[in-house]
Amino acid sequence: MFSKILIANRGEIALRVIRACQEMGIASVAVHSTADSDAMHVRMADEAICIGPPSSTESYLSVPAIISACEISGAEAIHPGYGFLSENAAFVQIVEDHDLKFIGPSAKHIRLMGDKITAKDTMKALGVPCVPGSDGGVPDFETAQKVAAEVGFPVIIKATAGGGGRGMKLARSAEDLETAFRTARAEGKSNFGNDEVYIERYLGTPRHIEVQVFGDGQGRAVHLGERDCSLQRRHQKVFEEAPGPNIDAATRARIGKVCADAMANIGYSGAGTIEFLYENGEFFFIEMNTRLQVEHPITEAIFGVDLVREQIRVAAGLPMSFQQDDLKVNGHAIEVRLNAERLPNFAPCPGLVNTFHAPGGLGVRVDSALYGGYRIPPYYDSLIGKLIVHGRDRPEALARLRRALGELIIDGVDTTLPLFFALLEQEAVQTGEYNIHWLEKFLAEKL
Ligand code: ADP
């Protein structure tokens, strides 16, 4: 086992990793920008090293600074958290070239899934169901016309290097196609330096269902069920639950096995998430994230596992501590994302937090780097915390969420807290009958 791990991240996810390290008896090293000198992760880690100015590109994304911090502190492994360098294959290569261990999948697998066309081709070959569409890249508009006619409108044009909802354009009919094709290409080029695009059938009212997978890198892999993350605003998840409200045990076992087998087949190592659109009882693969996700705690809650501990174990060459048969769904969990944002426009709202009071009690978990007197810096993501509740069933989880939201106090900055009170009043949320468009519609009409 490692004796010291460096966490190349900040905020709640840095705390999450530090906590796992503490429980495993591993020393932790925090890195931080000058804007984060007072941050909670700096206070909680055993050591802290300043790696640069506020701008992420010069600090949390600075590979030389992070590698130097490892060498100075004597850390043997790096946990990347999510975002920043977590899905950067070149970084993984550099880490390995310095005889350090990256806590995550291999550079090869990150690269494979980072390009959406290769990811889809790979998944298709592994028997994972995909959205019908072009066979790989679409080189020119003439080909786009041919493919779209075959697939049938509406279609979505996607940049192979796209992410975060960028580089994706909808064409409702043949008239929209040329503009959609050219804008998707241009966005791919300007945002990600790659203008390759592909075409998919556009699904009208799907749910976003993602399967948590875990591999040991030796050809063994398991799944930990699904999460429903359909409640999204601008492709950003807002409210997540596990298990999916309309996924039964047989469906879970079937799609889970397809995913676990695919991961075993490629020798995947560590945590990963295979994302699907789910419509009329059918799953359609859209992308794979080769890292720990923000919403991993709801899976931890219903399976009673520690995914970060497991990541660290596998990176250290130990076997997984569970097998498929050990993994049983227990109850229902919901996570809501607390962002420092002002409603109704979700404008970022950094600043001084006067008071922070976290809810407690049975089945309540708060992952947050806030404390009273902390000043949220304006340079980073607006996620300031996650409230996770676990109940014996969905109604209990909803009741617990309402109760916990009532106890939570964040005074000084605006947050997305009021949104969740409003959501809990909605019938679609109470019944779980929503799709990926529901939240946007609700926000446009009601907020
Ligand atoms: P990104 O990497 O930018 O997040 P994804 O491929 O994961 O892109 O898609 C993001 C979101 O876009 C999905 O969650 C879904 O809301 C929508 N989307 C993607 N593909 C389709 C499709 N074929 N039909 C309908 N909606 C889609």
SS3 state of residue 14: helix
Alpha-carbon dihedral sign for residues 399, 402, 406, 407: positive
- Bridge partner list, 159: 197
Q: What is the ipTM of this complex?
A: 0.96
Ligand 1 centroid–CA 447 distance in Å is 24
Q: Which of 228, 286, 435, 440 to mutate to test the pocket of ligand 1 (most atoms within 8 A of CB)?
A: 286
Taken as a whole, the chain contains a residue count of 447
Mutate to test the pocket of ligand 1, among 134, 147, 160, 168 (most ligand atoms within 8 A of CB): 168
pLDDT score of 430: 98
Token match 């044009």: residue?
A: 157
pLDDT mean for each 10 residues of the chain (447 residues): 98 98 98 98 98 98 98 98 97 98 98 96 97 95 96 96 88 96 95 95 97 97 98 95 97 98 98 98 97 98 98 98 97 98 96 98 98 98 98 98 98 98 98 97 91
Q: What are phi and psi of 297, to 5 degrees?
A: -60, -30
Please state the φ and ψ torsions of residue 230, each to the nearest 5 degrees: -75, -25
The per-residue b/e assignment along 180-191, b for 16 or more CB within 10 angstroms, e otherwise, is: bbbbbbebbbee
What DSSP state is assigned to residue 326?
G
216, 269 in Cβ contact below 8 A?
A: yes
Q: Specify the residue with its C-alpha closest to ligand 1, atom 21.
A: 202
Q: What token pair was written down for 155?
A: 């279609």
Residues facing 275 on adjacent strands: 210, 287
Q: What is the pLDDT of residue 446?
A: 83
117 C-alpha to ligand 1 centroid (Å) = 14
Q: What is the pTM of this model?
A: 0.96
Q: Tell how far the Cα of 203 is from the centroid of ligand 1, in angstroms.
A: 9
Most ligand 1 atoms within 8 A of CB, residue of 235, 276, 289, 290 to mutate: 235
CA dist 245 → 68, 120, 219, 365, 389 (Å):
46, 27, 31, 21, 15
Of 277, 237, 232, nearest to 255 by C-alpha is: 277
99 secondary structure, DSSP code: T
pLDDT for the residue numbered 447: 73
**Token couple for 344:** 């109704």
**Rounded Cα–Cα distance for residues 79 and 391 (Å):** 30
pLDDT at position 232 is 96
State the first-to-last Cα distance of the chain, in angstroms, to the nearest integer: 50
- CA-CA distances (angstroms) from residue 318 to 215, 218, 275, 342? 12, 10, 27, 45
CB-CB contact of 354 with 373 (8 Å):
yes
Output the CA 165–ligand 1 centroid distance in Å: 7
Residues 385 and 11: beta-carbon distance below 8 Å: no
In this structure, are strands 77-79 and 101-102 parallel, antiparallel, or unpaired? Answer: parallel
d(CA 258, CA 238) in angstroms, rounded, equals 27
Q: Please list, in sequence order, all residues whose beta carbon lies within 8 angstroms of the beta carbon of residue 151, skipping any fewer than 6 positions away.
A: 132, 133, 134, 199, 200, 201
Distance from C-alpha of 61 to C-alpha of 39, rounded to nearest angstrom: 18
SS in 3 state form for 289-314?
ECCCCCCHHHHHHHHCCCHHHHHHHH
Q: What is the pLDDT of residue 440?
A: 96
Q: Which two tokens stand for residue 257?
A: 């096995």
Q: Which amino acid is at 108?
A: K
CA dihedral 375, 376, 379, 380 (to 10 degrees): 150
Tell me which amino acid residue 151 is: V
Q: Is 278 in the pocket of ligand 1 (CB under 6 A)?
A: no
Between the CA of 322 and the centroid of ligand 1 the distance, in Å, is: 32
Q: Does the Cβ of 165 fall within 6 Å of ligand 1?
A: yes
Q: Using N-to-C axis directions, what is the helix angle for 174-192 and 141-151, rounded to 10°?
A: 120
Q: How far is residue 158's CA from residue 133's CA, in Å, rounded to a whole number? A: 11
Q: Is 291 part of the annotated catalytic residue set?
A: yes
Q: Judge whether 188 and 195 are in contact, CB under 8 Å.
A: yes
Q: Which residues pair with 168 in a beta bridge?
A: 158
Helices 394-407, 417-424: inter-axial angle, 10-degree rounding: 140
